[in-house]
Structure 1
Amino acid sequence: MKQLNRQNHASKRYPTKIMQFGEGNFLRAFIDWQINHLNKESGLNAGISIIRPIDYDALPLLNTQDGLYTTLVRGIDESGEATEQVDIIECVNEEIPVYKEFDKYMALAECETLNVIFSNTTEAGIEFIDTDKLGDAPAKAFPGKLTQWLYKRFNHFNGSADAGLMIIPCELIDYNGEKLKEIVMQYCQLWQLDEQFIAWINDSNHFCSTLVDRIVTGFPRSEHDALQTKLGYLDNFMVTSEYFHFFVIQGPKELEDVLCLKNTSLNIKVVDDIYPYKQRKVAILNGAHTALVPLAYMAGIEAVGEAMDDNLFTQYVEKLMFDEIIPTLNLPKDELVQFANDVIKRFRNPYIHHLLLSISLNSMTKFHTRILPQLLTFVEKHQQVPTLMAQAIAAQILMYRGTRDGQAIELSDSPQWMALFADVWQQHSEGTMTTQQVVESVLGASWHWEQNLNDVEGLTLAVTSSLAAFLNSGVRVELMRTLQA
């Protein structure tokens, strides 16, 4: 078999319009995959120069395959059928290792066609390092490298507004664009850069915050040889991901024209504020995930897909989403319903094996951020406790007893929570603490919940009732009774 490269695979070269900090699986299966589709669907005609932002040689550069690689997109499509889509990504022009080819990286600042920057340097990448210097080759922190490059561009184009860019970070922190700009400004102060440059940053560049959503499962190690045989060529950079994708960019409407989004089938939105979409993802996707874990696991189920093959838990997830979560959210109902239906398909994805115990890591924090806001909103709007959310809390308390069918569960959470659960369940087993007192102790942990949840009318009773039923007859029997009521 021949190696995948431009000599063995006829492919188009595109002018460099995008610089991308980061060469990892996520960007290649999310951003670069979308740019590849925009080139073919809507005439974006954009090539990408990838910057390897850290100094390591453990993996070869994409240049060894002329920037070409394969994406395998797998999951449940709109018709509910399992699908696998194979694309050769052709939009990457080069990968520049910035620590070894700093001059080549800086030369990109003179590229007239370049108008967009994407990044994913991990959450730790958007940091300020006060020992970085303007003359470093390069600065250590990603925002420092970016400031060096922007200053070179500003000077080369004499501060022209037309040389400004759309800067679109994809790191998983809240309002990542605002945070990145804030740190760039810190470097401007540290390096005492001139006021005209600072004005150009503010007036001619847009730092766009984002919400990214796609599970990227990465390099298909166990299937690699078989896939190469199937595809008929060698590819050391192939990457797999789920079918679903969603990209929300908080930015100016002109970004739609810059990225040629008006004629695309891709799930990309340019909005004034990403918050409602972040809230939707956290509440519906993450909230349903978090609620499902203890219920399904304590019913003897090991993985998300297995739970979604069980009619009882499919009913639970659907009823939780549509009856208890969606009524608390402030977006058009049709958008919320569509997103919930997409999430259900994602949970059923046969190509992804999500172990419930793995997802349970630090679950108490997840209940705080993903379940509690919707629970409190539901109580405020309807003057009653949402039954299914209360059952999820009860199942979480049960799971944190630390045993299932007489076998120990390998739990992982903060020491404070682990100590509290060990204490209350020990007292419960000794008969010195009632089931309600166990619940009251957990809900009363104001150091975690930032309030005493026993003060939420009806919540203590609802959680206690469910927990008692779980202890008496099991999760499955109680859940069945609730859903049939």
Structure 2
Amino acid sequence: MKTDAGRSQLGRHALEGTDAARQYDELKTYPVKVLQIGEGNFLRGFVDWMVDECNRKGLFRGGIAVTQPRPSGKAKLEQLSSQDGIYTLLTRGLLGGKRIEEERLITVFSRMIDPYSAWAEFLGLAESPDLEIVVSNTTEAGIRYEQVAWKPEEPIASFPGKLALLLYRRYEHYKGDPAKGLLILPCELLERNGDELLRIVLQHAEDWKLPASFSSWVRNHNRFLNSLVDRIVTGFPEQAETYYDRWGYEDRMLNATEPYHFWAIEGEPALGERLPFHMAGLNVQWVEDLTPFQTRKVRLLNGTHTLMAAIGRIHGVDEVKQVTEHPVWGPKLKAAMEQELVPSVPISREEALGYAESVWERFRNPFIRHKLADISMNSISKFKVRLLPSLKGYVQLHGVIPPTIAEGLAALIRLYDVIRRDGEWFGQRLDGQRVPVKDDEEALALFEGTWARYRSGELELSGLASDLLGSEKLWDENLNAITGLHEAVCGYLQEMELVER
């Protein structure tokens, strides 16, 4: 098949005589061991790459049946089918101080099934004796309860509903055989994602008045595993045409990712025999408790992101990499991560500092343009979750306010000197330029009113800081109760006001 540019399209025919063709042909002899619900960039740059690595090393020898969670994914699934399930993954960035640029053809998809046009084929996977694992990434919004009528002959829109019916089909087919339970690994960025998915599946079973023995089988003989994933997958690259010219074919499913990857799965290490990622040398850990890993990621990676977004935006910096390269803010924010955020993470200092170093290296990735405007969306709720615990932990340890976190809070308050135009909210940089901000409507209205009172002379700057820090609507508590915080934030706001003038 020729594209509009006269090139071939990636597929088995384009690989004739290559190692990739031999890998693809071998894949076709493997049983389908994995059902993947989600055709998007993340799973293709994370789980599918891992399965491909295991297959190359002879550790897994299994294929994947991929299906889209929503009808809108049909076009991507069709494109994948037209390429015989083959796509290229670019791994680009820094790792251990070295610049990495790698290309790999991923050949793990044995079947592409659209559940909305091939519902019977999708449910038929439940009867396969080879099926062992279900992985998913349907976004956080995908793991939620929606009441669904009992119409097993019709496609179900919700992911938990699809899974519930698939499991019931398997239960019936194998007459409740305990050995036929599945490993279910949701990759959605939702705390306790496996527990929540199990809860919703059981709720569907109750709604549909399915036998109590089915619910017992789901609970006792299937493993809904909580997991935490960590990798930035950027998707289709801007430089695709350059790669096409060099390869001589087009890959419309081309995907790009960073070198770093980490997957923590709550379960006993023996499960690694069924999913041999660790044996393949991949950074996958089977752990008793995900909490330390979640806290590590939220406070060090996400917390630093939130801190740099507020400080960077008011100073006119647009992207994460630009912050790391800034002669003032780069060193200052790196030091804040190590000195103000690391102490509150409930793991060894050595391990926390090692992770912090890897995070900073990821921020410096020359191939990723991560906009601070995107990171700063919903900054109020993000500050509460990502930075407030570190602020309190630092005060408890040292008896003083962490300076850069306080400066970040002041920067957020200053950025949220907002106005509303044509239904959109705009904050203000120190140079007076207006920039779009997105957050809770009531929160932004509160900031607008408080700043208006200050600009009119009704409030002093100290009163503005006191009113905003004391708002339980914003923070769920009165932050003025944290000794020294009001004074620190007010001091930074005063400096910012002087810069503006």
TM-score interval for Structure 1 and Structure 2 normalised by the shorter chain? over 0.9
Deviating more after overlay: 59-68 vs 446-455: 59-68
Gaps of 5+ in 2: 1-6, 16-20, 418-426
Under a length normalisation based on structure 1, what TM-score does the superposition of the two structures give? 0.93
The CA RMSD measured in Å over matched residues stands at 1.9
Shift of 1:38: 2.0
The letter of the residue matching 1:73 is: T
Distance 1:110 1:329 in 2: 45
Shift of 1:426: 2.6
Report what 1:483 is aligned to. Answer: none
Shift of 1:61: 4.3
Report what 2:494 is aligned to. Answer: 468
Tell me the alpha carbon deviations over residues 251-286 of structure 1, each in whole angstroms, 9 at most, x when there is no partner.
Answer: 233221111134232221111221211111110011
User: Contact conserved, 1:132 with 1:140, CA < 8 A, in 2?
Assistant: no
Map 1:137-216 onto structure 2 (within 5 A): 137-216=154-233
Report what 1:479 is aligned to. Answer: none
Q: 1:43 aligns with which of 39, 59, 66?
A: 59
Are 2:14 and 1:8 equivalent residues in the alignment?
yes
Distance 2:200 2:475 in 1: 31
Report what 1:74 is aligned to. Answer: 92
Map 1:243-392 onto structure 2 (within 5 A): 243-392=259-408
Are 2:462 and 1:444 equivalent residues in the alignment?
no
Distance change >3 Å, CA 418–CA 187, structure 1 → 2:
closer
Q: Percent identity?
A: 36
User: Contact conserved, 2:50 with 2:277, CA < 8 A, in 1?
Assistant: no
User: Contact conserved, 1:75 with 1:82, CA < 8 A, in 2?
Assistant: yes
Distance 2:146 2:311 in 1: 44
Shift of 1:473: 4.5
Distance change >3 Å, CA 419–CA 143, structure 1 → 2:
closer
Find the residue that maps to 2:65 and give its secondary structure. strand
Tell me the alpha carbon deviations over residues 82-126 of structure 1, each in whole angstroms, 9 at most, x when there is no partner.
Answer: 322111101111110112112221221122221110011222222
Find the residue that maps to 1:114 and give its secondary structure. coil
User: Contact conserved, 1:299 with 1:474, CA < 8 A, in 2?
Assistant: no
Alignment length (residue pairs): 473
User: Contact conserved, 1:19 with 1:117, CA < 8 A, in 2?
Assistant: yes
Distance 2:116 2:67 in 1: 10
Deviating more after overlay: 230-239 vs 450-459: 230-239
The letter of the residue matching 1:238 is: L
Distance 2:211 2:446 in 1: 55
Shift of 1:183: 1.0
Distance change >3 Å, CA 362–CA 240, structure 1 → 2:
same
Q: 2:413 aligns with which of 397, 416, 422?
A: 397
Tell me the alpha carbon deviations over residues 303-336 of structure 1, each in whole angstroms, 9 at most, x when there is no partner.
Answer: 2111111132221122111111111111122321
4+ residue segments displaced more than 6 Å: none
Q: 2:241 aligns with which of 225, 235, 240?
A: 225
Q: 1:101 aligns with which of 114, 118, 121?
A: 118
Shift of 1:42: 6.0
Distance 1:413 1:279 in 2: 23
Under a length normalisation based on structure 2, what TM-score does the superposition of the two structures give? 0.90
The letter of the residue matching 2:493 is: L
Report what 1:435 is aligned to. Answer: 461
Shift of 1:420: 2.5
The letter of the residue matching 2:471 is: A
Distance change >3 Å, CA 107–CA 175, structure 1 → 2:
same
Find the residue that maps to 1:351 and give its secondary structure. coil
Tell me the alpha carbon deviations over residues 379-438 of structure 1, each in whole angstroms, 9 at most, x when there is no partner.
Answer: 122222111111111111222223331322322222322223223323333333222111
Report what 1:481 is aligned to. Answer: none
Report what 1:480 is aligned to. Answer: none
Find the residue that maps to 1:406 and give its secondary structure. coil
The letter of the residue matching 2:428 is: T
The letter of the residue matching 1:64 is: S
The letter of the residue matching 2:460 is: T
Distance change >3 Å, CA 130–CA 360, structure 1 → 2:
closer
Tell me the alpha carbon deviations over residues 7-56 of structure 1, each in whole angstroms, 9 at most, x when there is no partner.
Answer: 33212313211111111111111111111112224612221011223334
Shift of 1:474: 7.2
User: Contact conserved, 2:333 with 2:404, CA < 8 A, in 1?
Assistant: no
